[in-house]
Amino acid sequence: MDEILKIEHLNKKFDDLTVLEDISLEVKKGEVVVVVGPSGCGKSTFLRCINGLETIQDGKILLDGETVNPPLGNIKNYREKIGMVFQSYDLFPHKTIIENLMLAPLKVQKRNKVEVRKEAEELLEKVGLSSKKDNYPRQLSGGQKQRVAIVRALIMHPEVLLFDEVTAALDPEMVREVLDVIMELARQNRTMLIVTHEMAFAKAVADRVIFMDGGVIVEDTDPKSFFENPATERAKKFLSTFEYNE
């Protein structure tokens, strides 16, 4: 009923290599879905398919009941509604922080400059980076850059947010500050798909956990059952790699 994102029998291949096989998933409005799985299981590719950065060979991705991928008409209209934050700090290096935030709302959404600036400043305030607004990305730490990248996605007022291992490239002491921002978004009932290797965070933030392995969804369950009582051997094996017992 109130599902916002619907993926039907998605198949994705790189040449002859099948990366995603028959993936079906429905995400409800306000739901936080965490996608976990071993490296190379296709979870990043899966996110990239959702906002059309990857072409798909079969299946359908629908946002609000309208097909996003395979692209019909103008994909950019959908991309506006799907915010994405990447693993590598992907801010525009030639623009200041505030310019990074304002570029897309002004050029893509043709919004009013005064209003956009006001919102950008408010959002920066919320993530504790007001003082950095006139700095360039190179002057920020990795954690600060990722927080800005999250704000840059938020300012577009997306209906769905995609996080692709946003803390994977960070120094350990900076992971927390980024996860806190995402946690806060979860509290605001934002619809999010989060790919992460931070299991403790996954457990805390998720309404639902998707476990992927070898390009298929192996488990789709609530976080408590997944982390405490995984149903499949593959999931058990995966989770055991995060334990360190002498």
Instruction: State the residues that interact with another protein by CB under 8 A.
Output: 51-53, 76-77, 79-80, 82-84, 86, 88, 90-94, 103-104, 107-109, 136-138, 149, 152-153, 156
DSSP3 helix / strand / coil % (the chain, rounded to 5): 40, 25, 35
| Choice between 91 and 178, CB closer to another protein | 91
Burial group, residue 205, by CB count within 10 angstroms (0-12, 13-18, 19+): buried
Residue 195, helix vs strand vs coil: strand
Element (H, E) at 105: helix 97-107
Q: Cα separation of 2 and 31, whole Å?
A: 10
Closest CB 80 distance from another protein, rounded Å: 4
In the numeric block, the tokens 């978004």 are attached to: 185
Which residue type, as a one-letter code, is found at position 200? Answer: A
Closest CB 100 distance from another protein, rounded Å: 10
| Choice between 24 and 77, CB closer to another protein | 77
| Choice between 105 and 223, CB closer to another protein | 105
Closest CB 4 distance from another protein, rounded Å: 17
| Choice between 13 and 136, CB closer to another protein | 136
Query: Measured between alpha carbons, how far apart are the two ends of the chain, in Å?
Result: 48
What pairs with residue 67 in β-bridges?
Answer: 62
In the numeric block, the tokens 């921002």 are attached to: 181
Closest CB 223 distance from another protein, rounded Å: 27
| Choice between 103 and 183, CB closer to another protein | 103
Closest CB 199 distance from another protein, rounded Å: 26
